[in-house]
Amino acid sequence: MAIDDTSRIETTHIGSLPRPPELLDLLRTRQSGGDVDPDEWERVSSEATDDIVDRQLATGIDEINNGEQPRVSFNYYVGERLTNIGGQREQALWADLEEYPAVAEDTFETDVIDLASQPAVTGEIRYDGYDEAEREIEQFHDALEGTDVDIEDTFFTTASPSVVAATHVDEHYGDHEEYVSAIADAMAEEYQLYADTGATIQIDAPDLLATGHSHLFADNSVEEFRGIVEMHVDALNEALSGIPEEQVRLHTCWGSYEGPHHLDTDLADMLPTLYEADISGLSVEQANPRHQHEYRAFAEHPLPDGWTLIPGVVDVKTNIIDHPETIADRIERVANTVPDDTKIVAAPDCGFGTQAGLGMVHPDIAWPKLEALVEGAEIASERLD
């Protein structure tokens, strides 16, 4: 692959970034049902958003967001935005961790969210998160004031209908397809809110790869699971109706947890189904040691014309700071597998704070990893020129 000076490899990240201790304390209180002073919440969450924007710009990341600072997680935040979510139900271990239960005890230990259980949907789902979403947008826009960042170079993350269904127990609908469809109808409201800002919207859908297959559908064959994912993609497309494809990117992965992952679905088995999504950018792990070989899948199943590939080239599960040359190697092998005119934006595999209080990577290490990402993208751009 050859690139010119105007198409250097840009960088982004996958949404969540480390939250400051004061904000984590407030999130912990809110999550446990305690009272948080509204003025204090506004001050702390706004300051955290301001700081996260400044740190991204100082690091040199090209496409930035609010780091999901006001959210308790990439998926459970919807409990504040969808109706009839409440209570906790015990969660079964994912299939790969069932074989190594002692690993699971350490993997999901956080004092902010109870990850051994899941909230339940107990009635009709509707979207009721306008105030939360609009305030999140306003805080981010306030943080951008005084910078030279165009809104088109920013993004907002939002949960896919299928990941909401995968992580919230259905105690109302009784039919999975009906359940996912109802969530899609509700989440469409949020997608439109974010799209109206002019920013890119990133749909977070880890369930479309192994986290779905190794959790809810562990007993299904790959072929059966593919059919389920097709239904999930159809529901997502319905929710995205009216939003330009060029404004939407999709993140999927095998789960941002340090576990065996030996039962993960192969990327090549799922890419054709993922390509049915009404999007124009695809983010998928390529630094995960279980899946680094799967860049070859993009040769077997070429990316749709005009799509941007967002390969994960920085690990998010260890405190090793990836060497920029290693990052460049990861970018280069992906770039050499896709057509020359494919736009590539380098990113980490997943977020650095997908669940508040649960960081596989220490906050002090997350930022050097992102600095290495920027440097690695520069090296790769020179090599591929």
What is the fold, at CATH topology level, of the domain defined by 5-384? Answer: TIM Barrel (3.20.20)
Query: In this predicted structure, what is the pLDDT of residue 6?
Result: 47
- Core vs surface per residue 306-318: b (16+ CB within 10 A) or e: ebbbbbbbbbbbe
Structure tokens at 181: 């469809």
Sign of the alpha-carbon dihedral angle for 167, 173, 175, 177? negative
Per-residue pLDDT reduced to its tens digit, 264-303:
889 999 999 999 999 999 999 999 999 999 999 999 999 9
pLDDT at 105: 66
Look up the pTM and report it.
Answer: 0.93
Q: What are the residue ranges spanned by the domains of the chain? A: 5-384
Low-confidence spans in the chain with pLDDT less than 50:
1-6, 213
| CA separation for the pair 176, 182 (Å, rounded) | 10
Residue 338: C-alpha distances to residues 11, 14, 290, 316, 331 (Å)? 18, 22, 21, 24, 11
Give per-residue pLDDT as tens, 132-184.
Answer: 999 999 999 999 999 999 999 999 999 999 999 999 999 999 999 999 999 99
- How far apart CA 174 and CA 32 sit, in angstroms, is 28
Beta-bridge mates of residue 201: 156, 248
Pairing of strands 343-348, 308-314: parallel
Residue 221: what pLDDT?
A: 84
Bridge partners of 159, per DSSP, are 204
185 with 239: CB under 8 angstroms?
Answer: yes
